[in-house]
Structure 1
């Protein structure tokens, strides 16, 4: 009998014990760990989507009891609560709210507090038009997170599978790593789909299940973007290399 797979995603685990340190993130991790012995009162943490920057920023925000903000929500953020340290996730998404970001940076400096900004790219590419703000951002030490390598993606997959109490052979993890996009966000999406497929079928995850999930996700992405691709067909064959 097939079970109904409910789309109930697990809450993101953003604790220190859930962050996997690897060469791609080690320098940034060690710098965050050295707080408050930072090279400046504001750091910019840069990395591609799925590289773990929000996770690392959340670890620091928890440790520093920092007020958390989103770059796109700065206009409505209540800065009355910004008495201590501050963390701005996706600071490159400030859009027309440059004056607001500049105000936040000034508050942090005047109060002798620390700030951590995350972004997908360096400040020069944010399109900032306020000279004083751009100068301030350029002076802030920047930490870079590199895209996850295969070893890190493999470790993330294993941890996410364990979090959902899914037991799989190492060959399944190797199969996924060779074919998936190397990002933590993609790993989360794949594991959630594997969990749903396993629950719906009532069977454990196999290489065939992994191939079906990869093909299904890629087909959905291709359909959403109006693309035609043959990679999904190759992914559907668990014996293809």
Structure 2
């Protein structure tokens, strides 16, 4: 008896996604203003007429703090450093700046003594030369776990402005910007479908668009509404699984 060989269909080959740089634009004209960030944007725009040397900018991850800080840094000629860069041996050099941005001040590692000393120096400079500081953080100073009472008091007394969760219109606008930044062409139905179903978080929008870009390239397919929603389901499952693991 002769054997019959049947060719079985194979899965289409997957492409290896390339880790190419994303053209994330942080100019003033690229910042999307909505009810969630109108007050914060107005405060940045009002500089140098700030009520104090220091302004705290508070908002969740991916809310646009870095973008706003970048806008202010360009206008004020400010240097931008992370909280980890604020150390005792660098205070003198940092204080030489007339404008300074300190990002993620609520994160660790953090040298509280150096930060307090820097705040005092910049406050003295403000009286003579109008020095200004912008500090970004996800939460209020009371939640940072500070152990230096004078530092906590100084931060609490400084003016602050918050960025809230985005409304539907802002979330959709940000999704469009994220797709454009990655040079991805998608139908408006994709943005509408994602905007209706996903959580109201700009950080989630960024992570989801990154996943869609990677998976679409890997599978050599367009980002359709059906594909986008299937990836959203997968992303949400991964997030729930990660939370369960962290809580377990």
Q: TM-score range by the shorter chain?
A: 0.7 to 0.9
Q: 1:116 Cα deviation (Å)? A: 0.6
- Counterpart in 1 of 2:230? 212
- Counterpart in 1 of 2:157? 139
SS of the residue aligned with 1:209?
helix
Q: Distance in 2 between matches of 1:108 and 1:127?
A: 23
- Counterpart in 2 of 1:82? 95
Tell me which structure has the larger Cα radius of gyration: 2
When normalised by structure 1's length, the TM-score is: 0.85
- Counterpart in 1 of 2:221? 203
Q: 1:212 Cα deviation (Å)? A: 2.2
- Counterpart in 1 of 2:18? 6
Q: Distance in 1 between matches of 2:88 and 2:15?
A: 43
When normalised by structure 2's length, the TM-score is: 0.83
SS of the residue aligned with 2:74?
helix
Q: 1:107 Cα deviation (Å)? A: 1.7
Q: Given that residues 175 and 209 in structure 2 are in contact (C-alpha distance below 8 angstroms), is that contact kept between their aligned partners in structure 1?
A: yes
- Counterpart in 2 of 1:34? 46
Choose which of 169, 173, 193 in structure 2 pairs with 1:155.
Answer: 173
2:190 is the counterpart of 1:172: yes
Mark the runs of 5 or more structure 2 residues left unpaired by the alignment: 1-12
Q: Greater CA deviation, 131-140 or 197-206?
A: 197-206
Q: Distance in 2 between matches of 1:146 and 1:81?
A: 30
Q: Which runs of 4+ in 1 moved over 4 A?
A: none
Q: Given that residues 67 and 82 in structure 1 are in contact (C-alpha distance below 8 angstroms), is that contact kept between their aligned partners in structure 2?
A: no
Q: Distance in 2 between matches of 1:184 and 1:77?
A: 36
Q: 1:94 Cα deviation (Å)? A: 5.1
Q: 1:59 Cα deviation (Å)? A: 1.3
Q: Distance in 2 between matches of 1:115 and 1:147?
A: 25
SS of the residue aligned with 1:92?
coil
Q: Given that residues 171 and 207 in structure 1 are in contact (C-alpha distance below 8 angstroms), is that contact kept between their aligned partners in structure 2?
A: yes
Change (3 A) 1:226 1:125: closer
- Counterpart in 2 of 1:123? 141
Q: Deviations over 1:49-93 (max 9, x none)?
A: 221112111211122121222123423773314312111111122
Choose which of 18, 31, 55 in structure 2 pairs with 1:19.
Answer: 31
SS of the residue aligned with 2:55?
strand
SS of the residue aligned with 2:106?
helix
Q: Distance in 1 between matches of 2:40 and 2:49?
A: 14
Q: Given that residues 9 and 192 in structure 1 are in contact (C-alpha distance below 8 angstroms), is that contact kept between their aligned partners in structure 2?
A: no
2:62 is the counterpart of 1:50: yes
Change (3 A) 1:223 1:76: farther
